[in-house]
């Protein structure tokens, strides 16, 4: 089930280009291609998954380049990283606040929009050495496909 259409992808890419220019980073066709790959899916792909797709039209690109590019995007706040428990970082072009659920069997990561997960009032609180800016919840479960098989 995907909510992403051509229109949204175009909007995300345009926004990405504008933001990159504001931030003063180079907007190369290769960078746009990597971003677009991520912006075209709500599957929260890993570096490897994006790399495999990009290789179709940039056969000389290396996994390291894709890795570094995604890392740069993340540091600049152009994308976010979903921390899953299975080592490989998974990325997200959707910067609207939302939570995630990961299937413990097939490692699929999906978005969750549920009011009950957004009621913790932690903003502007200080916990330990930290000033809290927000939170996200990562739920674990077994998806329908895995339960059925
Ligand atoms: Zn599953
Ligand atoms: Zn997400």
pLDDT in tens, 6-22: 999 999 999 999 999 99
CA distance 82 to 99: 9
CA distance 110 to 44: 7
**pLDDT lower than 50: segments of the chain:** 1
pLDDT attached to residue 31: 96
Ligand nearest 143 Cα, by number?
Answer: 1
CA distance 120 to 135: 9
What spacing in Å lies between the alpha carbon of 105 and ligand 1's midpoint?
A: 5
Instruction: Return residues with CB closer than 5 A to ligand 2 (ion).
Output: 92, 94, 111
pTM of structure: 0.80
pLDDT attached to residue 36: 96
What spacing in Å lies between the alpha carbon of 94 and ligand 2's midpoint?
A: 6
pLDDT attached to residue 104: 86
pLDDT attached to residue 15: 96
Q: Which CATH number fits domain 6-92: 1.10.3720.10, 2.40.50.110, 1.10.150.530, 1.10.10.10?
A: 1.10.10.10
pLDDT attached to residue 84: 66
pLDDT attached to residue 114: 84
């Amino acid at each position: 089930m995907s909510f992403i259409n051509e229109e949204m992808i175009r909007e995300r890419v345009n926004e990405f280009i504008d933001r990159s220019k504001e931030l003063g980073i180079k907007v190369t066709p290769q960078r746009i291609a990597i971003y677009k790959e991520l912006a075209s899916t709500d599957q929260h792909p890993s570096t490897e998954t994006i790399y495999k797709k990009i290789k179709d039209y940039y056969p000389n690109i290396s996994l390291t380049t894709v890795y570094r590019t995604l890392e740069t995007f993340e540091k600049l706040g152009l994308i976010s990283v979903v921390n899953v428990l299975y080592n490989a970082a998974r990325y997200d072009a959707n910067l609207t606040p939302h939570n995630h659920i990961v299937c413990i069997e097939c490692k699929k990561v999906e978005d969750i929009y549920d009011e009950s997960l957004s009621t913790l009032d932690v903003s502007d609180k200080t916990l330990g050495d930290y000033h809290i800016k927000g939170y996200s919840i990562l739920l674990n479960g077994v998806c329908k496909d895995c339960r059925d098989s």
